[in-house]
Chain A
């Protein structure tokens, strides 16, 4: 069948600059560039280009530019090029459309509609460069009241707090499984987590033995596919996260395309090489809220109650009631992943249509748990949209204890958000398990980039806090007085429970 699809991008090569060094050919994993020996030209197959910008960055002569294909269908706000292309693709294949990364649709980012406050006159702002500003955060069940006793006049602490995670910056690295990314990526992430005093979530593909030594900074995940899960794995992590869902694909299970299931991945996940590693849509031991409690306590029993258990859900319609149920299930941390949450592979229709923005989910969950008097029973972590330190600060002001970053961390390491993670060909050596391409990512250097990023955010967060006259992050938590909405409807303001700008 002849393909009616137009190339999405066109490669423009300045032949005057091109010295035919063929680096672009070598760098491109999609086979876009090729050398025509007869005419002595480097040429391109535009239809293969995914606009990852690898060749552009690596071309020593700056001879390449990638552009969106100017040839496109007649402008139509309803029948967009994207809609037309999707139909053509499905008519040619009969398949569901797969995609990578988070939802790219407009109008779902509410962070930009929230503005932060600063002190003027009535109270002083604080200068973070010279005076202390504390970002340390503890995640875990706090309880309602301290228990004290007195021993001959001395106050003796009787409360034994539930296990906690200690974060020096309230930003952690979101779950990215061994398989979705390669070992170099995971190593870079965990080393950065160690250096910055935070945590890396290893995702659902098990934990490579070479990373066990960083266990104190790893949150190990238990997802429905139960890949790589055994008692040693559970014991080595600092915390355990039960993954119920993720923002990119609420309601469906993990999906690691067979292209990425190499020998090593197969070994970790205990599945055949080259098969699709599918996690069931539900945990088959959780069909109901009391079953969640059952798994939470199974993990606690197995690891003897020494580490927090988190439960991660996608932000969906009834999220507040669900979170309330989770808080009562014995979980120590609730993770809410919003509609913009990223993924290595998800059906496009799910990614772009299911779930709600994390800003709303966070606002209603925090509110609900407070109303029910159980906010101190759990910590709240949000993910799925955090791009910069301002997003972090806004999330905490809305009520989060900490955030996870996934996409931002990948971008720091080289990712350009081309959305082709599912192909296993990531030219940046990130979302690939191909040993040859994986080598492109040097864990040492990538870890440096990540540390730099977190250090930069740390400075910025302190600047923003100081501006508000706040010198400890806990005074920002749930402090919606520090937020104002702009361009939001009345119902949106009500749900977020923030005042409009000017009020």
Chain B
């Protein structure tokens, strides 16, 4: 948790310095906060530091363009929902629905995430340093674009449920390094989940395969970004073993109905 920078201690709500918007979100309702952000975006501001974020929802919702947010605190649910371009850095943990139905942009979380991170993600990238909750990457999509979800820690059950596209990279660097995710890839019919080490419990429609050269190239590219963002040793990480989880068929429920 980062306190307000000393120079900003005094400001009550809004302070703009060198075209950087600083907002003290303490006691602000999400509607007030998001309206303020939208107004400033309209005025052309592209850089936002939000301090004392305590549960405000929908930050970045539906915003496009090349805007950067740095959030200090714990943003509320649906961070970056429908987002279409901005970069959000969170210095803290995020709650549920981070990156919900996001189309483009980047979310980096220096902490853990709650459930359904990346729900129905269509594009862009999410990097979570630590664990994620249940149903991460559920119904991720992909058609020409490839949404990416990188998880540094471990994942809750139903990782990649209904997955239709995109890439999930699960590193499992937290705890004892053992994956305990149950029902991984349940109903998966597109996309790929890369797992460092041994996945435990696949479910309907998913199967494990060895990674090939192309996969390794993708994995290493993402690892490099992950290590740069969170200060991990890439040279060590790159030696780790990975497997991939892919749909067993593109139509896992094709025979379910007559």
List residues of chain A with CB under 8 Å of any chain B CB: 89-90, 93-98, 225-227, 229-231, 234-235, 255, 257-258, 266-267, 269-272, 274-276, 278, 280, 284-285, 294, 297-298, 301-304, 345, 347, 422
Contacts and interface: CB of A to CB of B under 8 A. Distances in A.
Nearest to B77: A294
Contacts of A422: 257
A249 to B, nearest CB: 12
B77 A301 contact: no
B143 A231 contact: no
B258 A275 contact: no
A231 B250 contact: no
Contacts of B135: 284
Contact of B82 (A284, A302, A347): A302
A345 B189 CA distance: 19
B165 A272 contact: yes
A301 B187 CA distance: 32
B189 A272 contact: yes
A98 B251 contact: no
Given A272-B190, A294-B78, A234 B116 contact: no
B173 to A, nearest CB: 26
B258 A231 contact: no
Contacts of B84: 230-231
B97 A257 contact: no
Nearest to B164: A271
Contacts, number: 133
Contacts of B61: 298, 301-302
B120 A258 contact: no
B100 to A, nearest CB: 6
Interface stretch (B30-38, B44-52, B195-203, B226-234): B30-38
Nearest to A304: B38
Contacts of B145: 270
A482 B144 CA distance: 57
A178 B254 CA distance: 20
Given A93-B258, A226-B119, A270 B142 contact: yes
A98 B258 contact: yes
B165 A270 contact: yes
Interface string B113-135: 00010011010000000000001
Interface centre among A258, A274, A280 (most CB of B within 10 A): A280
A345 B17 CA distance: 57
B103 A231 contact: yes
B58 interface: yes
A226 B139 contact: yes
Nearest to B102: A230
Contacts of B103: 230-231
A298 B60 CA distance: 10
B24 interface: no
Contacts of B11: none
Contacts of B144: 267
A231 to B, nearest CB: 4
A297 B253 contact: no
Interface of B: 30-31, 34, 38, 57-58, 61-62, 64, 77-78, 81-84, 96-97, 100-101, 103, 116, 119-120, 122, 135, 138-139, 141-145, 161-162, 164-165, 187, 189-190, 250-258
Contacts of A230: 82, 84, 101, 103, 122
A271 B58 contact: no
7 contacts: A93-B258, A230-B101, A272-B189, A285-B119, A297-B31, A297-B57, A347-B257
B32 to A, nearest CB: 11
Given A270-B143, A272-B189, A231 B257 contact: no
A335 to B, nearest CB: 21
Given A231-B62, A258-B250, 20 more contacts: A96-B258, A97-B258, A226-B141, A230-B84, A230-B103, A234-B82, A267-B144, A269-B141, A270-B164, A271-B165, A274-B250, A276-B254, A285-B77, A294-B78, A298-B78, A298-B100, A301-B57, A302-B58, A303-B62, A347-B257
A267 B257 CA distance: 24
B258 A302 contact: no
Give 9 closest A-B pairs by Cβ, nearest first: A302-B62, A226-B120, A270-B141, A95-B258, A98-B257, A271-B164, A270-B143, A93-B258, A231-B62
B257 A272 contact: no
Nearest to A285: B97
Interface centre among A90, A231, A267, A269 (most CB of B within 10 A): A231
B253 A89 contact: no
Nearest to A274: B250
Contacts of A271: 141, 143, 164-165, 189-190
A187 B144 CA distance: 26
Given A98-B258, A234-B82, A301-B31, A276 B165 contact: no
Contact of B251 (A90, A276, A304): A276
A278 B161 CA distance: 11
A93 B254 CA distance: 12
Interface centre among B78, B144, B161, B257 (most CB of A within 10 A): B257
A422 B257 CA distance: 10
B250 A301 contact: no
Given A230-B103, A284-B116, A294-B57, A95 B141 contact: no
Interface centre among B81, B83, B116, B255 (most CB of A within 10 A): B81
A345 B256 CA distance: 13
B237 to A, nearest CB: 30
Contacts of A298: 57-58, 61, 78, 81-82, 100
A302 B189 CA distance: 29
A302 B190 CA distance: 28
A267 B142 CA distance: 9
Contacts of A225: 120, 139, 162
Contacts of A89: 258
A276 B120 contact: no
Contact of A96 (B138, B250, B256): B256
Nearest to B104: A230
Contacts of A97: 257-258
A345 B57 CA distance: 36
Contacts of A345: 257
A229 B82 contact: yes
B119 A278 contact: no
Contact of A285 (B96, B255, B256): B96
A278 B165 contact: no
Contact of A276 (B64, B77, B253): B253
A284 B186 CA distance: 14
A298 B250 CA distance: 32
Contact of B253 (A226, A278, A284, A303): A278
Contacts of B187: 278
